[in-house]
Amino acid sequence: MANVQGTLASTYTARNRRTLFRGMDFDEPVATRFPDAAVKAAPAPRPDSPPAPFGDLTQASIQHLCSLVEQIVPGRTPSTYEKRRRGLRLLFTHLETRPGADWQTKWEASPFDGDKALPVKTFVTSDRAQDRHDVTSAAKLAFCARVIQPSVGGFRANTFSDYPEWFGPASRDPALDVFYAAVDARPDLGLSYRIRIKFDVACALTTQGIALEHLTPEALLHYSLECRRLGVTHGARGDQSRFAALGAWEILHSIGHFPPGTPSTLRKFIYTGQLTPEQMVDRYPLRSQAVRQVIIDYLVRRQADTDYITRDGLARLLAGTFWSKIEKICPGQADLTLSQDVWDQWRAEIAFWEKDRSRERKNIESILLAIRGFYLDLQSWAVDEPERWGSWAAPCPVRPQDLKGFSKRRREMSRRMADRTRQRQPLLPDLVKYV
């Protein structure tokens, strides 16, 4: 059956047009699955007596900083100490050219701090790799000695392979020594993971200017969210979906560092259960509040005949894949009546995955079916409740040719899934041995 209105056709059949979303891929960025995370996160307040294991060095002379090298990292060779002092002179001579009354303000006025910070080695103009290495080591010394408190972005712009090993002894913090010992007592975690746990705590303390006793659950969550926002969580490679400090949280909880009643994992601390329709839609910043509200109302109306996963999938497709991209193509679009040009541009936009434009999307029909269901539901509800839904009844942009061959492609998809199962089933016994 078809109802032609203007240049677009509203087409539907007796076929079940509901879409199953379990196992379906989505590529749209989602702010967070934990909507209250940002509310709970808070950097640690500046303590009355900030950590200063070598005294207040915020206005210390370069000569005085160089004299502390052997105390900050004891047990090195004379030539190593000379390289560290040379790096300090290079770095702080450069910072002296920046405005500010102390080293902290000079650092903040440099390009080495903030979300888009540059590595400190970038100011080195010589061709000597040793100079760049010495300057990076100098920044590490300055952070360990609490001369400078970098932002998370400023810290992570540099590569510090052994920062926890420097920071621990330099901090002279008995509580931190206990934490390090607790981490080392967990050989089941693996060496690289234990180093990462120490690194996360050392970085959190450095960037917030606190000792371990002031590291609250809220402060560690703040560090975790900053790493996630900047895409610098270990293994993230720029991806903004990974939390940092998951292992650090569990170790701190196990040694009784956090207050009684604190959940044992970071995710439990911020997870508040299933999202409401409003929270599902608000993961995507839609300009049109009217369209935002009708999608929310649609999800509420569908609660009676769908499960949570289906509604979450609908929210991702309707608010993320569909309408947020429509608004990018046509920022002034305020209703559901789309021109053919806008629809064609949207079809071209979703033909490939957003994260990898060379990868063709294979589940377009599932997206189109969800959109068609959205339009047809609004049309049918408008007949029964014109005062509520009548203004949103619009021609369905999904045309018959858009779904041509869908049944055949779905059979091919099922065949590929069955082939993968047959290929991997013989490996199941080997997998069980290692699980």
Whole-number average pLDDT of the chain: 88
Residue of higher predicted confidence among 22 and 124: 124
> What per-residue confidence (pLDDT) applies to 267?
86
pLDDT in tens, 360-386: 887 788 899 999 999 999 999 999 999
> What per-residue confidence (pLDDT) applies to 11?
38
pLDDT in tens, 197-212: 999 999 999 999 999 9
HSE-CB at 269 with a 13 A cutoff on CA atoms is: 29
> What per-residue confidence (pLDDT) applies to 170?
96
pLDDT in tens, 311-364: 999 999 999 999 999 999 999 999 999 999 999 999 999 998 887 778 888 778
- Joined tokens for residue 17: 């047009």
> What per-residue confidence (pLDDT) applies to 29?
46
Domain borders along the chain are 62-270, 277-421
- State the Cα–Cα distance between residues 105 and 112, nearest whole angstrom: 12
Tell me what percent of the residues of the chain surpass a pLDDT of 90. 69
Confidence of residue 10 (pLDDT cuts 50, 70, 90): very low
Distances (CA, A) of 233 to 105, 229, 278, 408: 27, 9, 29, 42
**Contact present, 201 and 215 (Cβ < 8 Å):** yes
**Contact present, 328 and 284 (Cβ < 8 Å):** no
Residue of higher predicted confidence among 9 and 395: 395
Query: Quick check: helix, strand or coil at residue 294?
Result: helix
**pLDDT higher than threshold 70 for residue 83:** yes
> What per-residue confidence (pLDDT) applies to 417?
84
Neighbours of 421 (CB within 10 A): 9
- State the Cα–Cα distance between residues 77 and 286, nearest whole angstrom: 60
Residue 264 has φ and ψ, to the nearest 5°, of -75, -15
**pLDDT higher than threshold 60 for residue 7:** no
- Joined tokens for residue 246: 């998951």
pLDDT in tens, 131-175: 999 999 999 999 999 999 999 999 999 999 899 999 999 999 999
> What per-residue confidence (pLDDT) applies to 18?
47
> What per-residue confidence (pLDDT) applies to 27?
52
Tell me what percent of the residues of the chain surpass a pLDDT of 70. 88
Q: Which of 28-32, 392-396, 419-423 has the lowest mean pLDDT?
A: 28-32
- Joined tokens for residue 253: 């909880």
CB burial of residue 363 (10 Å; 0-12, 13-18, 19+): middle
Confidence of residue 239 (pLDDT cuts 50, 70, 90): low
Give the list of residues 6+ apart from residue 345 with CB closer than 8 angstroms, or none: 329
> What per-residue confidence (pLDDT) applies to 126?
84
Residue type, 272: T
Confidence of residue 8 (pLDDT cuts 50, 70, 90): very low
**pLDDT higher than threshold 90 for residue 98:** yes
> What per-residue confidence (pLDDT) applies to 432?
81
Give the list of residues 6+ apart from residue 231 with CB closer than 8 angstroms, or none: 237, 238, 239, 240
**pLDDT higher than threshold 50 for residue 12:** no
> What per-residue confidence (pLDDT) applies to 234?
86
pLDDT in tens, 20-70: 454 455 555 444 444 555 557 889 999 999 999 999 999 999 999 999 999
